[in-house]
Amino acid sequence: MPLINDTGFIADSWVRVSEESTLFAEQIIIPFAQFEEAAAANIKKIGVHVANTVKPTELVQYFAKLDLISIDFPNFADGRGLSIARSIRKAGFIGELRAFGPLIADQYAYARSCGFDTIEVPEELAARQPEGQWKDAGKSLSLSYQRGYMHGKNILNQRSIHEAASRTGAV
């Protein structure tokens, strides 16, 4: 399915492996339940796909062995995956975080802020919302009020910088 990051639509070097298929590729995304099996099979890079009901704390012990975590979005209005991403990043995961499901372009900046690197969307949705819309949406709000999130220039931090600068006469 189409994959999006900050540069636009990109080729996907990962292969999703369903529960029935055997493990064959070099970089595979498997259901979380199959992780042990894949780890034993000596595969180069392993990613897991998790439901949006997963407890982030259960994933922490696998972080070092995982190059990618894919979080399921059953529909775009279900924001649970955003909290999971945020918790996973908070817990120190540095691999690729991927949102999987029908997120819309308008959510791109939010997903990036919460820690996602890539979004994998259905073909139908990518056809309606081509690359340009994702790039525009990513830039539409250049400022944010929440500290500790990743996207956009943070207004509170900017104010602190201005305040400190004006105190020292630097403005």
Distance (Å, rounded) from C-alpha 46 to C-alpha 157?
37
17 or 119: CB nearest other proteins: 119
Neighbouring residues of 101: CB distance < 8 A, sequence distance ≥ 6: 72, 73, 74, 75, 76, 81, 120, 121, 122
Smallest gap from residue 81 Cβ to other proteins (A): 9
Q: Do the Cβ atoms of 123 and 1 come closer than 8 Å?
A: yes
13 or 160: CB nearest other proteins: 160
Q: Report which of 4, 84, 69, 56 is spatially closest to residue 30, judged by C-alpha positions.
A: 69
10 or 141: CB nearest other proteins: 141
Smallest gap from residue 104 Cβ to other proteins (A): 5
Residue 51 near other proteins by CB under 8 A? no
Near other proteins by CB under 8 A: residue from 21, 26, 65, 147: 147
Residue 160 near other proteins by CB under 8 A? yes
User: Count residues contacting other proteins (CB under 8 A)?
Assistant: 44
Smallest gap from residue 12 Cβ to other proteins (A): 23
Residue 58 near other proteins by CB under 8 A? no
Residue 118 near other proteins by CB under 8 A? no
40 or 77: CB nearest other proteins: 77
Near other proteins by CB under 8 A: residue from 34, 70, 113, 118: 113
Q: Report the alpha-carbon angle 115-79-155, nearest 5.
A: 55
Neighbouring residues of 53: CB distance < 8 A, sequence distance ≥ 6: 80
| Residue numbers 66-85 binding other proteins by CB under 8 A | 76-80, 82-84
In the chain, what is the straight-line distance between the N-terminal and C-terminal CA atoms, in Å?
50
37 or 91: CB nearest other proteins: 91
Distance (Å, rounded) from C-alpha 47 to C-alpha 3?
15
Cα 89 to the chain's mean position, in Å?
10
